[in-house]
């Protein structure tokens, strides 16, 4: 897979203890990479990282500590860096904006500065979000050339992260022997193993566990829903292109689902109810800070130039997500590797280019 780009490759992965980062750590190890993780301890119990029990170097540090991070990167001697460490929650960014800004902007600056100072790094992929765009509640999907911005501190900090990455790319990484740098913007990523607060699926899992109805803030809010593995396949394709020296790929990329997966929260909950009959929800009357109502991504560029596309439909994504949590609740074997293998088989059956040698 991915042209064997990761077989035996030294990879530094920040944020590996998080939801998306832990899935990427699993996939990279499956591909034969030598992965070193840099992150804070997981915030929740249970959490996907500890459940996976992966055997890999796990360096516990705050990416805002530039000196400690630089030492960790020098020790790991990576050939490619996947930067996923972040404060990823909109509501938490209202509660603690300074932590959000310092982690997402200064932390990323520390990562890129380490990439600039440590020899041998060929590529870096910085993961941001679909919320980095200046949201105008428009019907068409946002393209990579659209204006960046953000109402809430989280979205604005991720827009700044994009500007920071572009600055490093133009000011420093255009020189010989310095890494090729790209940024990746995915949609609303769901799947098993997420226990974050103020996210739809984890909140639903907790509500089902207590036998209560889920309080839904914005049932009509529309998002681009996709399985975590669909977004990660895009990051891995992008990393592969950078590793082979494709300078045209050193830019910003959207990895969002097709139009059929742009659905209101209410439709997602209704879709889950078939696989999760105990699901119950009601519209919350709680006062809430501003969040975007309508948000789409246009991933035409990734489809045409990277030949990327999702392997699972929205229905398959919802079923896999429900099955993961149901198996965990019943004490059955962890479904992560099983679902990764199933996802790869789906990609092979669909003839996706990254599955070929």
Burial of 85 (C-beta count, 10 Å sphere; 0-12/13-18/19+): buried
pLDDT at 177: 82
Prediction pTM value: 0.95
Max distance between CA atoms of the chain, in angstroms, equals 59
Quote the Cα angle for 223-228-231, to 5°: 80
DSSP alpha helices (H): ranges in the chain?
19-30, 48-52, 66-76, 90-95, 97-101, 107-117, 153-171, 200-210, 228-243, 265-273, 300-305, 314-329, 336-349
Q: What is the pLDDT of residue 176?
A: 76
Cβ of 349: how many Cβ atoms within 10 Å?
10
Specify the pLDDT at position 290.
60
Domain spanning 2-355: CATH 3.40.50.720: yes
pLDDT of the chain, 357 residues: tens digit per residue: 999 999 999 999 999 999 999 999 999 999 999 999 999 999 889 999 999 999 999 999 999 999 999 999 999 999 999 999 999 988 899 999 999 999 999 999 999 999 999 999 999 999 999 999 998 877 789 999 999 999 999 999 999 999 999 999 999 998 878 999 999 999 889 999 999 988 899 999 999 889 899 989 888 888 889 999 999 999 999 999 999 999 999 999 999 999 899 899 999 999 898 888 888 898 877 766 666 667 889 999 999 999 999 999 999 999 999 999 999 999 999 999 999 999 999 999 999 999 987
Q: Strand, helix or coil at 193?
A: coil
pLDDT at residue 293, as a whole number: 67
pLDDT recorded at residue 288? 66
């Amino acid at each position: 897979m991915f042209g064997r780009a990761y077989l035996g490759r030294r990879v530094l992965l920040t944020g590996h203890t998080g939801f998306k980062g832990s899935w990427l750590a699993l996939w990279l190890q499956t591909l034969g990479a030598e992965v070193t993780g840099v992150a804070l301890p997981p915030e929740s119990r249970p959490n996907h990282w500890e459940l996976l029990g992966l055997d890999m170097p796990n360096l516990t540090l705050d990416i805002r500590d530039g000196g400690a991070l630089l030492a960790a990167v020098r020790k790991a001697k990576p050939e490619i860096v996947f930067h996923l460490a972040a404060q990823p929650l909109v509501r938490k960014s209202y509660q603690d904006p300074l932590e959000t800004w310092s982690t997402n902007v200064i932390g990323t600056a520390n990562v890129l500065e380490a990439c600039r100072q440590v020899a041998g790094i060929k590529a870096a992929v910085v993961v941001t979000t679909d919320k980095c765009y200046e949201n105008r509640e428009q019907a068409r999907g946002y393209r990579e050339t659209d204006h960046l911005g953000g109402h809430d501190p989280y979205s604005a900090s991720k827009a700044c992260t994009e500007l920071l990455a572009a600055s490093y790319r133009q000011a420093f990484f255009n020189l010989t022997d310095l890494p090729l740098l790209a940024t990746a913007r995915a949609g609303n990523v769901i799947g098993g193993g997420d226990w974050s607060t103020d996210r739809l699926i984890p909140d639903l899992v907790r509500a089902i566990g207590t036998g209560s109805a889920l309080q839904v803030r914005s049932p009509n809010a529309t998002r681009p829903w996709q399985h975590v593995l669909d977004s990660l396949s895009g990051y891995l394709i992008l990393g592969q292109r950078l590793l082979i020296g494709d300078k045209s790929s050193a830019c910003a990329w959207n990895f969002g689902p097709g139009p059929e997966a742009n659905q209101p929260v209410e439709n997602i909950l209704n879709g889950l109810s078939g696989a999760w009959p105990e699901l119950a929800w009601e519209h919350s009357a709680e006062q809430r800070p501003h969040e975007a109502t309508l948000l789409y991504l246009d991933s035409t560029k990734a489809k045409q130039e990277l030949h990327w596309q999702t392997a699972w439909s929205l229905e398959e994504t919802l079923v896999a997500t429900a099955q993961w949590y149901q198996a965990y609740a019943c004490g059955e074997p962890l479904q992560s590797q099983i679902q990764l293998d199933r996802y790869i088989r789906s990609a092979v059956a669909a003839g996706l280019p990254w599955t070929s040698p």
